[in-house]
Structure 1
Amino acid sequence: MEQLLHYIWKHRILPLHELRTTDGRLVEIIDPGLHNHHSGPDFFNAKIRLDGTLWVGNVEIHERSADWFLHGHDQDPAYNNVVLHIASTIDMDVTTADGSRPPQMELQVPPHVMQNYQRLLADDRYPPCRDTVMQLPSLAVHSWMSALGAERLSSKCDAIDQRVKAAGGSWEQAFFATIARGFGFGVNSEAFELWASGLPFMQVAHHRDDPFQVEALFLGYAGLLDDDAMNDKQRALALADPYFVRLQREWKYLAHKFHLVSMTRHTWRFMRLRPQNFPYIRLSQLATLYCSRRADLSNIVACTTLDDVRKALQTEAGDYWRTHYTFGKESAESAKRLSSSSIDVIIINAVVSMLHAYGRHRQDERLIARAAEFLEALPPEDNTHIRLWRECGISADNAADTQSLIQLHNRYCERKDCLRCRFGYYSMKRI
């Protein structure tokens, strides 16, 4: 209830009757103030006229006025400048640390707001606000989509900044970790980032001219050459495979040389994956790409067109994997190349965000603009939620649009955070 009181105060979705304090003074809201999500009063610098007198200060909101004392506000000087205390139930007077008595106002959530909110939370359809969204003007939709896209890109850039910090300021190493995360394609993204963040980047660089040693390092550090972690069938097939034995021997030598301890094999997910997405294949493709040096940050930054980036990211697994998806078990021969659609996904999730973050770091507007151009030139992604939004009249013409819809789903719909969503706002105020 308190959260809804915050909401209707912030957005001025208020009852139609006059608002008065408990002592009868007429309340006119000039500015509800700035919503505070940290410690201290709920709204800063509100402007309120009480019986014609303008007051500027803070506003505190509770479900019951007794909560003022329950939360210790009567002992906290931060609440001395509260000019209005709001509660749905006024059951006692309140006092501040300096002894003053802030005026209080009883405020109820309008019935239609409560009904709309409960409907949004209870509706099993996706999205639950579809009836409202289908009636919104295009300007309102595009405005929120634009904000969502910027929000998603900003969060990705923040993640890159954290990787740079963890890498001791190395943007090259942070870009490798970002690319590696992209090779997880959702299912193994966290595992790939964990793997890349712990991989001894400088030591691996010494062996960059030997793809076999790099593949041994990549697979070995991932824990995928640890036969003790395999089941009996996997172990028997692997130990009978000469290529596995060579890789394992090389990994043990390099692990001893660099004092490395591998990840656990169980970090990686294989269930319900198509064979071309197995970590063996993706790590081998990444090893080939790494040895080619085409995906170095300096080379990607030098790419001025989308086609240049696509060519730079072309890669395939090593020769052994042409006839294998796993150790010791042959398959029909095929080149395990990174598909064009997979390359586009990596550009969306790694290259675009890196160009923007690196451009921001270097104060290079050209890189920031190029990131936006690439995102708008890439084809739209496709998944169930994007198709359902299309049924609501929101079509995605490019990757920038689908990134906005992915942000909408992950950050708002999935969490049922309708109170922070603009579509939720339009749904809540409907009568």
Structure 2
Amino acid sequence: MEALLHYVWQHRQFSPKPLTTTQGEAVEVIDVGLHNTDAGPDFFNAKLRIGAQLWVGNVEIHLRSSDWFRHQHEKEEHYDNVILHVVGEADVEVTTMSGRKLPQLVIEVPQYVTDNYHDLMAEDAYPPCYRLLSSLPLFEVHSWLSALTIERLQQKTERIDRWLTETCFDWERVAFIILSRAFGFGKNTDAFERWASTLDPQHTGKHRDDPQLIEAFFFGQAGLLDSERTPLAQQDAHFAMLQRDYRFLQQKFSLTPISFSEWKFLRLRPQNFPHVRLAQLAALYVSRRFSLAQIRQASSIEAARKSLSFSTLPYWNDRYKFGESATLTAKNKDFSLEFNQEEKPQNHEQKQKICEKAAQQTKEQRKVAPCLSPASQDLLLINAVIPLLFAFGQHHQDASLMDKAVDWLEQLRAERNHVVRMWQEVGIPAEHAADSQALLQLKWQYCDRHDCLRCRFGTRYLQQRKSLQGETPSPKH
């Protein structure tokens, strides 16, 4: 509840009764100060009138006065310039390191704020603040979504920063790791990231012109060339060839694969099986189309999309796993990909047309295409290409690259997932990918963590003096 006291002080939501210290001196709050989320006093440079004296300094907030001593602030020099101790309960007098007795102010949290706060903390299918959203001005909603979009890009930049440190700022290697993570498409993101980190570009680069050896590298390091784990592949000539090639590579480069158990297969659509995505990554790697340099030089989102174009080996035209074909029928859920003789792809252009056609079919008819659908390309642009562009711009203080990253997000279609659908049901539709990224950030970093006091919607909800229960329609389903 201390965080709620921070909110009440910052937004001046304290009781309308005259404020007085525990010693009976009148308190006038001229400026609450700047909220500090790092070490040190909670609010910097507050401006207060206590009695007849004007003070400028810092404010510290605790649930109880005794928390001052529990945190040992009386021994810390940077708490010596605190001018007021704001508390929910004054149980002791407190002094600074210099021995100065601090004036203390007990603030009461208004009942409506407490009630609204408990609403926000309650578990529900929808954030309780949804009742407020329809009454907010559009510019206020869009302003918060814009801030959340940047916050999400900053969060992804932090992951990129960690890999840059790990790889001695090898941007191209980090770009491949981030792209690989995005190829996990949700369920296998961590496994793809872990797998990519085991690949040394000095090793794979020596065989980049050989699609078969690159597949051996990729599948071998993924732990997917174990005959015992894939019994149906034992009579598969391509599988046997990759096994042989990987044994050679493993001995040559002292390779250690990740565990097969890191991969998730349950309830995956055929096109999202790790085997399919690894085959696609191998084809993309061999094509040399994708690189950070090409992303930076791309003049448009469509130019960037071309960096995700490739053709897999013919083996993957009708498979989603080693030794198994891939048709998906609504009746038996048997996964397989079958081409009519007339539409058997002969070149990259024909494969791309099949991909686009498959992407337009129903779930029951959809094919495991040998290349990426436009929707999959969009997700890779959103989760890999654009964050890399933004991070590079930030590292090199190039605002034009950062602006281009945000502009590209605004040109892409909004993602389609249960989180975006939930926000649409409560009145906040996503107009483009920048919005859908913002709504994901809002749900995962604020709603799910009950961090409503840092959310602009949450703080507005707390300020409602009248219950909104029943005043607005229920979410649309």
Which interval holds the TM-score relative to the shorter structure?
Answer: over 0.9
1:338 corresponding residue in structure 2: 372
Structure 1 CA distance for aligned equivalents of residues 395 and 450 of structure 2: 34
The one-letter amino acid paired with 2:440 is I
1:385 lines up with 2:390 in the alignment: no
Instruction: Classify the secondary structure of the residue corresponding to 1:59.
Output: strand
1:140 corresponding residue in structure 2: 140
1:125 corresponding residue in structure 2: 125
**1:316 Cα offset (Å):** 4.2
Q: Deviations over 1:331-387 (max 9, x none)?
A: 333542211100011011111111222223334444333222211111111122212
Structure 2 CA distance for aligned equivalents of residues 127 and 71 of structure 1: 34
The one-letter amino acid paired with 2:460 is Y
2:23 corresponding residue in structure 1: 23
Within 5 A, what are the aligned runs for 1:201-350? 201-228=201-228, 230=229, 234=230, 236-331=231-326, 332-333=337-338, 335-350=369-384
Contact 1:304 1:370 in 2 (8 A): no
2:193 corresponding residue in structure 1: 193
Percent identical across equivalent pairs?
Answer: 48
1:161 lines up with 2:161 in the alignment: yes
1:401 to 423, 427, 435: 435
**1:415 Cα offset (Å):** 1.0
**1:317 Cα offset (Å):** 3.3
- Structure 2: give runs of 5+ residues left out of the alignment: 327-336, 340-368, 466-477
Instruction: Classify the secondary structure of the residue corresponding to 2:151.
Output: helix
2:392 to 358, 361, 383: 358
What's the C-alpha RMSD, in Å, of the aligned pairs? 1.6
Structure 2 CA distance for aligned equivalents of residues 67 and 305 of structure 1: 56
1:414 lines up with 2:448 in the alignment: yes
Q: Deviations over 1:75-132 (max 9, x none)?
A: 2223221111121111221122211100011112111111000011115131221111
What is the TM-score of this pair, normalised by structure 2?
A: 0.86
The one-letter amino acid paired with 1:93 is E
2:176 corresponding residue in structure 1: 176
1:429 lines up with 2:463 in the alignment: yes
**1:309 Cα offset (Å):** 1.9
Structure 2 CA distance for aligned equivalents of residues 67 and 363 of structure 1: 43
The one-letter amino acid paired with 2:198 is G
The one-letter amino acid paired with 2:36 is N
**1:161 Cα offset (Å):** 2.5
Distance 1:70 1:297, change over 3 A: closer
Structure 2 CA distance for aligned equivalents of residues 328 and 393 of structure 1: 48
Instruction: Classify the secondary structure of the residue corresponding to 1:58.
Output: strand
Contact 1:380 1:398 in 2 (8 A): yes
**1:4 Cα offset (Å):** 1.0
Contact 2:198 2:257 in 1 (8 A): no
Contact 1:220 1:251 in 2 (8 A): yes
Q: Deviations over 1:383-428 (max 9, x none)?
A: 2221222233322211111111111111111111111100000001
Q: Deviations over 1:257-303 (max 9, x none)?
A: 11111101111111110111010100010000010001122222222
Instruction: Classify the secondary structure of the residue corresponding to 1:119.
Output: helix
Structure 1 CA distance for aligned equivalents of residues 162 and 420 of structure 2: 29
1:12 corresponding residue in structure 2: 12
How many residues are aligned here? 426
Contact 1:5 1:61 in 2 (8 A): yes
2:359 corresponding residue in structure 1: none
Distance 1:381 1:69, change over 3 A: same
Instruction: Classify the secondary structure of the residue corresponding to 1:206.
Output: helix
Contact 1:316 1:338 in 2 (8 A): no
Structure 2 CA distance for aligned equivalents of residues 182 and 309 of structure 1: 15
> In terms of mean alpha carbon deviation, does 59-68 or 73-82 score higher?
73-82
The structure richer in helix per residue is: 1
- Structure 1: give runs of 5+ residues left out of the alignment: none
Structure 1 CA distance for aligned equivalents of residues 247 and 35 of structure 2: 57
Instruction: Classify the secondary structure of the residue corresponding to 2:13.
Output: coil
**1:227 Cα offset (Å):** 3.4
Contact 2:164 2:170 in 1 (8 A): yes
1:48 corresponding residue in structure 2: 48
Structure 2 CA distance for aligned equivalents of residues 50 and 238 of structure 1: 81
Contact 1:59 1:83 in 2 (8 A): yes
2:407 to 367, 373, 376: 373
Contact 1:127 1:389 in 2 (8 A): no
Structure 1 CA distance for aligned equivalents of residues 116 and 210 of structure 2: 62
Contact 1:126 1:388 in 2 (8 A): yes
Structure 2 CA distance for aligned equivalents of residues 297 and 66 of structure 1: 55
2:360 corresponding residue in structure 1: none
Structure 2 CA distance for aligned equivalents of residues 300 and 363 of structure 1: 17
Structure 2 CA distance for aligned equivalents of residues 84 and 25 of structure 1: 12
1:101 corresponding residue in structure 2: 101
> In terms of mean alpha carbon deviation, does 8-17 or 419-428 score higher?
8-17
Structure 1 CA distance for aligned equivalents of residues 274 and 441 of structure 2: 27
